[in-house]
Structure 1
């Protein structure tokens, strides 16, 4: 039950009665009320009435008040003389107070009286108080208000047969009483965080089903019962069916469950026969019901109780399940399903829940905070675990006991927690899924999902199996594609293996290094023999780390799929180590000098030799015909890769980060990514060709010393499938054109310090990273219809132009034709002002006046100069102004609008502000420049801009210009605007050089008020990363490296 609040809800104390019966004795005691009382008791509804429950001689009023407070609801029998009894009237006032303050329901029964007479208290039903009584006018006023209120409530009016009328009363209250019979834990910490989602669902007519899903112990059932307890008043029928999955497995308890469900639906009308399905269906078609089905695994379980399509349209169904796909169980056209994922508790709420169970307080006692944090880390927000451990730790409040209990949890899981969690494992559909779960729990938590699927797919159908585990809330995938389990789920899986045998050698899996050593060697930790491995005929997964084995590798298990041997100590591959069924070989940081597979490995998909510092040659790689991923990063001595690599038609991912000697050893004219080849295979490799199947290539930090430094040696002569290219850290000045790489989505050129220009980049790029390209000045694209979403450019101190986005150039470097009508600014090129906004664009530029171009707008910031060109025809001493567009002089055309304002900033921080232009013709623009000038604290600055929007302005238009400041540290002193017109022949030169290098982005849309999602705001949302509109978002290969293995030896027999 995730919550952002640490508030708690304490469940109400249990009540003694279902119903308090209020009536006028002389009217109905020996007639109607007697019959009603008997009928209530026969229905199993515990009822209080004064003449049965109060002993003579006791004071009446305190006992009545106590009985009302001890009841769940009240039936008020309003008869002809009810209002003549001050006793009854006081009862009524207490009942209504209880209704207002607590969840106490009230059913008025109008027995031979008209509700309107009760409400108005006319001659036929009025309060009668003797003149000599002690009751005051205030008492009478209170009674009148109570009678009016009760008459306005929804009640029952007697008409026809009293017997039928009594049945109506029972039908009305039966489920209101029953709905309170749900067992809620006393401490409902964090439950209120779900209220807004519950209320939203109840108000929606489309979603009839509320499926609460999550791992075992996450609070699903508690939340469902909380909804019943808090919302039952809105429904006519309430039913809670618990533990459905386990009940269906046992079968022998099914009839009892069906009978209890029918009793909830039918109440007193329950027939004396086997489960009356036709009766329940008939009632559910007509009455508003709230039904909870707890712990549901399959939709067929629901079908045994109800027909969803036949249920009354205002009814609601709540399901709790450990599956995530319940929305597929229902037809969205008739019964939409809202899936609600139970988030685990945050640290604050977890600490409160633990403390309430352990100490009876909301915070731990002094001296226990650090121990409590260890418990929180172990439970990881699981409410059940917090409750169970908190209660067990409350047995003895001592540091020694707590320390001992926590130490024992590291060796063995709490049986109560394991029992609940293991139900998800037991419910898995087949043994393949169970084995897959155990493999991941013991070996692959934190590993890349695609990597794990390749290893386990042949034996366990891992691709579909992982989906099953995710659906059962036993597994989840992080955004970086890593497989993760809740710590308690992982511990549960390992506890299943531990239960197989007391001895490590008797278990199916071993992940602790100490246990693995025991399997290899019964004595002290000396050299380990391969004999133990050779006896394991079913060995499929073997993970070793810095382990030296002596003996022959022949006769290893042919079933071996995953060989993970970090820091392999031999210089070459011994015969017998590689088995033909291997899928993944991970020998990172090995001492290998030559890698040559001794046999063909027809199923091998991944070869990881990263960090093998002595590796110099790779031979016969053609023996790996299905290889998909080759990782050679940081193989410093590598100088030769067998040319047969070009024939690996399934190779899609190649990582050669830091292989400097390899690239230095190749003739730059013979490096290509195509199917051709040349040269021999000696120590001096003269050519290098890669297959065109590559989709992921990383050559980061491959420092090639090329004689012609202006030419980059890697070219692509054909259109490849390449999607990801990392050339970061390269020593080159310019790249060849890659615009024919139409599938390229990610290009990383970070730390290419000599790169000056990026020209004609592919328009399909989604991500571009150029961090610390300190010489880079300009970037252009193949076309203006690009899809760039992520742009990382921190540290590019010389970057002045990104085509289609931004250009920032000192005034001194611009000629007259570039500036057009703003040519007068050239006189002030020597003036200075501090540029703020985007630190990466402004860093290292100095303070000289610079022109900014973005989104088609030219803008510049100046100190407070005195120049007539800064005074426009429309001026205002406030941050806004309004004017009408006059007619344009003959032979001229309106080309745009100048906007300026004077401002002062009273702090060193950067203020937030923007310009808004609005016309009565529906033209709206909002612009926040990426860079602007800070004149100095308390000094005056001028911001000038030109907006090429002449075609949008029509004679007679009313134009409103506003400078909207969002920070208190900035003040606008005045603003101005002026229309710019030009002869037809001058229009092109007016913005020459600026329009050509930029993409016009001014929106032609309407804005009713600020802000509005329909308007594309003319500003960049981030200082170091630009997020831009995307036309397409194709899937990309993972950019994350595999998780570094722990220092342990693990194996599976």
Structure 2
């Protein structure tokens, strides 16, 4: 516990902040930590008060105010007839006395201002609140106090196993024979203390009864199977705590979005889900609300993530709608989805359905029966459909108005027109057998199209019929030879992934010559923000026959291609990120645009010259042993080097200076905005040159990096001139060397 409250103990000593908000999901231990801090420190204040579970107070805030006033007034009962009177009296007390107040489970903006007022506190008073909100700005919007935010951490694997063991076995370690089961259960709880306590207590095993102990192993296995069934089978004590976060969501659209994500979209791309659900459920603002309520997180690679307990809570809410899956709003369990489609009864309630036939077949003793398209046609409200490795028989007519059609491993060679409804916002046909995609008329709402891994796909036509298309994914469409010219006319297209499209940008070979196209093989729209040409085998004359003129900053990925030099006919003036990862033959990079923020050159083993800016050439060498560097008479182990220009013959005047610097991070801080700035001054002539490289190589832990540069300063260094070279680094450098 001491380690978990270290930040809060520091806050108690910090007079800069009157208040601290402990934030986290339901059951994460916020109240336990607050109670521990309160009991440990209340003796150091003139008066104190701990008000638990304010969000559950059925009698309103007036009752809470009376208790709070009584506590901070030394036990005196104070009469108030309304909350306005209570707020005024509370403000008077807080200005005169040094108090410690804990308000547990604050979830509404008005609660703080009503309970404590908005005026300044006694300078040494401390207010601690617990909340499921991450953004506390609205809570303190009208209050002048400064509030620190502390997001509580869930338990790690070792702590989780120890807490579970204490409640299940009354020891710090699992009982013999239960270790693996205990590890599985602790992993399921995901570090949530409440879940570990509740499930551990419900599965208590006594060491005094061997027969009972052996029986409990079967009960533990049964419980784990129940939890892993994906049917939302959650302990009611855990469910009630977690559900309060769901019930407190302010809008119906927020609740519907949460349930959609819990059932279908965990692990999906945040950007894609916003595209799919924005028009229906205002997903851009909704996802922010769910994050703020600790119901959702977004991973570093933009995936929507949800704690397993929260996902089970959401699915349990859907299961409560009916015991019959056909009468629920969402069906995600593969076995249930299979039976719903096999029976073909249809449904007038199902809005979303997911089915992975491989998982169904793994659990079947006999061969799965055919599924008919009519089963889907009879689901009038179906909007979200996710199929994996599913074969359907029948005609594709009178289908419901899908918003999202996801059919991985689709066996169809062409898309039936009846499957492409005007309501579609997103189509994902990854790893399918499509040979041709021809956009029909009427898809005016489509924003996202993924044909990823369709290795038999040869042609894509009529994209002009998709006027709102934002994202086009053609990753590893290795047979694709034709992408219609109308791609360049798509005014909303921002993301185009052509990774692995090795035949798309090829030239026509003749027996004795190679015909180079006079016009671009591919035209791209001005709206484009990201173009990915990774592993497209672009190698002829270092030219990419792609025409694009971005109107705003954009990202370009040319990784894993055999160029020796960057394409000469590609407009790089508006680049923000340039990815040249694993360019085995790349020798030089020149003319880096001033807009560039990131340059990725990992595994460019042939790279000889990287940057050419303002007439200065420079490069970086990683993982260099400083002892192997070329020695020079003019060196320094500090950040500055002073020397006088030596005597030289007039015919051998110095034309430039080689400046090199070896550095490593101090390890005191991990900063993504590090950089170098070099300065050369001819103090005798009053001349100064300053260079801040656009690209900076950030060393790994305990790694040395050498920056090499050549400054062609011309015939302006005469014998005897006093010269100063300085290197300015954001982080302390351990070793420096100048030449």
TM range (shorter): 0.7 to 0.9
Of structures 1 and 2, the larger Rg is shown by 1
Contact 2:475/2:497 (<8 A) preserved: yes
| Cα separation, 2, equivalents of 1:486 and 1:1001 | 54
Distance 1:504 1:783, change over 3 A: farther
Is residue 739–residue 760 contact of structure 1 (8 Å, CA) maintained in 2? no
Distance 1:549 1:664 in 2: 37
Structure 2: distance between partners of 1:671 and 1:850: 49
Q: What is the rounded CA distance, in whole Å, between the counterparts of 2:2 and 2:569 in structure 1?
A: 56
Aligned mates of 2:731, 2:581 — CA distance in 1: 35
Q: 1:729 aligns with which of 547, 550, 560?
A: 560
Matched, 1:581 2:423: yes
Identify the range of structure 1 (749-758 vs 716-725) with the bigger mean alpha-carbon deviation.
716-725
Alignment of 1:402-417 (within 5 A): 402-411=220-229, 412-417=233-238
SS in structure 2 of the partner of residue 651 of structure 1: coil
Q: Distance in 1 between matches of 2:334 and 2:429?
A: 18
The equivalent residue for 1:388 is 198
Superposition deviation, residue 1019 in structure 1 = 5.9
Q: Deviations over 1:431-453 (max 9, x none)?
A: 10000000011111111111100
Whether 1:257 and 2:64 are equivalent positions in the alignment is: yes
Determine the structure 2 residue equivalent to 1:763. Answer: 594
Where does residue 440 of structure 2 map in the other structure?
Answer: 598
Matched, 1:694 2:542: no
| Structure 2: distance between partners of 1:693 and 1:734 | 27
In 1, Cα distance between equivalents of 2:472 and 2:524: 12
Please say if 1:1003 is aligned against 2:732: no
Question: What's the CA shift for 1:268?
Answer: 4.8
Residues in 1 aligned to 2:526 and 2:440: alpha-carbon distance in whole angstroms: 26
Whole-angstrom distance in 1 between the partners of 2:303 and 2:518: 38
C-alpha contact (below 8 Å) 1:616/1:637 kept by paired residues: yes
Q: Distance in 1 between matches of 2:15 and 2:294?
A: 28
CA gap of 1:1014–1:664, structure 2 versus 1, over 3 A, is closer
Q: Which residue of 2 aligns with 1:291?
A: 101
1:669 to 517, 526, 539: 517
Whether 2:14 is the aligned partner of 1:204: answer yes
Are residues 331 and 552 of structure 1, via their aligned partners in 2, closer, same or farther at CA, if it must alter by over 3 Å?
closer
Alpha-carbon contact 1:762-1:781 (below 8 Å) kept: no
Give the structure 1 partner of residue 705 of structure 2. Answer: none
> 2:522 touches 2:546 (CA, 8 Å); kept in 1?
no
Q: Which residue pairs with 1:474 in the alignment?
A: 295
Give the match for residue 512 of structure 1.
333
Counterpart contact for 1:633–1:655, Cα < 8 Å: yes
Contact 1:719 1:741 in 2 (8 A): no
For residue 934 of structure 1, what is the aligned residue in structure 2? none
Partner Cα distance (2:272, 2:129) in 1: 35
Give the whole-Å Cα distance in 2 for the aligned partners of 1:568 and 1:739.
37
The superposition leaves residues 121-178 of structure 1 with CA deviations (integer Å, 9 ceiling, x where unpaired) of: xxxxxxxxxxxxxxxxxxxxxxxxxxxxxxxxxxxxxxxxxxxxxxxxxxxxxxxxxx
- In 1, the alpha carbon distance for the partners of 2:545 and 2:570 equals 14
Higher RCO structure (Cα 8 Å, ≥6 apart): 1
Determine which of 830, 838, 857 is the counterpart of 2:624: 838
Change (3 A) 1:756 1:926: closer
Matched, 1:530 2:373: yes
Decide whether aligned partners of structure 1 residues 779 and 990 sit closer, same or farther in structure 2, where only a CA change above 3 A counts.
Answer: farther
Matches for 1:844-855 after TM superposition, within 5 Å = 851=630
Cα deviations across residues 839-881 of structure 1 (Å, max 9, x unaligned)? 8xx9xxxx9x97379xxx9779xxxxxxxxxxxxxxxxxx99x
SS of match in other structure, 1:760: coil
1:571 aligns with: 413
Find the aligned partners of 1:838 and 1:775 in 2 and give their Cα distance.
17
Q: 1:444 aligns with which of 256, 261, 265?
A: 265
Deviation of 1:468 (Å): 0.5
State how far apart, in whole Å, the 2-side matches of 1:581 and 1:885 are: 73
Q: Which residue of 2 aligns with 1:781?
A: 612
1-structure distance, mates of 2:684, 2:52: 67
Q: Which residue of 1 aligns with 2:618?
A: 804
Alignment correspondent of 2:39? 229
8 Å CA contact 1:589, 1:609 repeated in 2: yes
Compute the displacement of 1:1001 (Å).
Answer: 6.9
* Aligned match for 2:252, one of 410, 413, 431: 431
Structure 1's unaligned 5+ residue stretches are: 1-190, 673-686, 785-801, 808-835, 861-878, 896-924, 931-946, 955-983, 1006-1012, 1021-1053
TM-score (norm 2): 0.79
The CA deviation string for residues 750-785 of structure 1, in whole angstroms up to 9 with x for no partner, is 33333332222223323223334343322233437x
Deviations 1:518-560 (A, max 9, x none): 11113983111111211212111101111111122222122x1
Q: Deviations over 1:303-361 (max 9, x none)?
A: 22221315323211111110011144326993101111011011121122112212221
Indicate conservation of the 8 Å contact 1:501/1:507, yes or no. Answer: yes
1:76-107 deviation digits (Å, cap 9, x = unpaired): xxxxxxxxxxxxxxxxxxxxxxxxxxxxxxxx
1:654 is the counterpart of 2:476:
no
* Equivalent position to 2:388, from 513, 522, 545: 545
The separation in 2 between residues aligned to 1:391 and 1:1019, in whole angstroms, is: 60
Q: Does 2:574 align with 1:743?
A: yes
What SS class does the counterpart of residue 517 from structure 2 fall into? helix
Give the match's secondary structure for 1:212: strand
CA distance in 2 between counterparts of 1:852 and 1:739 reads 40
For the residue of structure 2 that corresponds to 1:752, the secondary structure is coil
TM-score w.r.t. the length of structure 1 is 0.57
For residue 644 of structure 1, the aligned residue among 477, 486, 493 is 486
Deviation string 1:727-756 (CA, Å, 9 cap, x unpaired) is: 223233322457963321222223333333
In 1, Cα distance between equivalents of 2:203 and 2:105: 29
**SS of equivalent to 1:576:** helix
Cα distance between partner residues in 1 of 2:630 and 2:125: 65
* 2:111 is the counterpart of 1:301: yes
Against the structure 1 CA distance between its residues 948 and 239, is the aligned structure 2 distance closer, same or farther, given a 3 Å change threshold? Answer: closer
Distance 1:1014 1:755, change over 3 A: closer
8 Å Cα contact 1:327-1:339 kept in structure 2: no
Distance 1:926 1:258, change over 3 A: farther
SS of alignment partner, residue 130 of structure 2: strand
C-alpha distance in 2 between matches for 1:1004 and 1:341:
36
Q: Point out the more displaced range, 749-758 or 283-292.
A: 749-758
CA-CA distance at 1:286 after TM superposition: 1.1
Find out whether 1:320 has 2:130 as its counterpart. Answer: yes
Tell me if the contact between 1:562 and 1:584 (Cα under 8 Å) persists in the aligned partners: yes
Hey, what's the Cα distance between the residues in 2 that align with 1:888 and 1:772? 40
Aligned-residue CA RMSD in angstroms?
Answer: 3.8
CA drift at 1:366: 2.4
2:470 matched residue in structure 1: 628
**2: CA distance, partners of 1:766 / 1:888:** 40
2-side partners of 1:744 and 1:344: how far apart? Answer: 40
Q: Is the 8 A contact 1:739 1:782 kept in 2?
A: no
Closer, same or farther: CA 851–267 of 1 in aligned 2, 3 Å = closer
| CA 1:283–1:985: 2 relative to 1, 3 Å | closer
2:4 & 2:30 partners in 1: Cα distance?
A: 11
Verify the 8 A CA contact 2:543 2:569 in the aligned structure 1.
Answer: no
The 1:335–1:526 alpha-carbon spacing in structure 2 relative to 1, beyond 3 Å, is same
Residue 333 to residue 805, structure 1, CA distance change in 2 (3 Å): farther
CA contact (8 A) 1:722 1:741 kept: no
Q: Could you say which residue in structure 1 is the equivalent of 2:350?
A: none
CA distance in 1, matches of 2:37, 2:544: 67
Q: Deviations over 1:239-279 (max 9, x none)?
A: 112221222xx3x3655433322321334532466466254
User: 1:946-975: CA deviations, max 9, x gaps?
Assistant: x98884999xxxxxxxxxxxxxxxxxxxxx
Counterpart residue number, 1:401: 219
Whole-Å separation in 2 of the counterparts to 1:616 and 1:403: 50
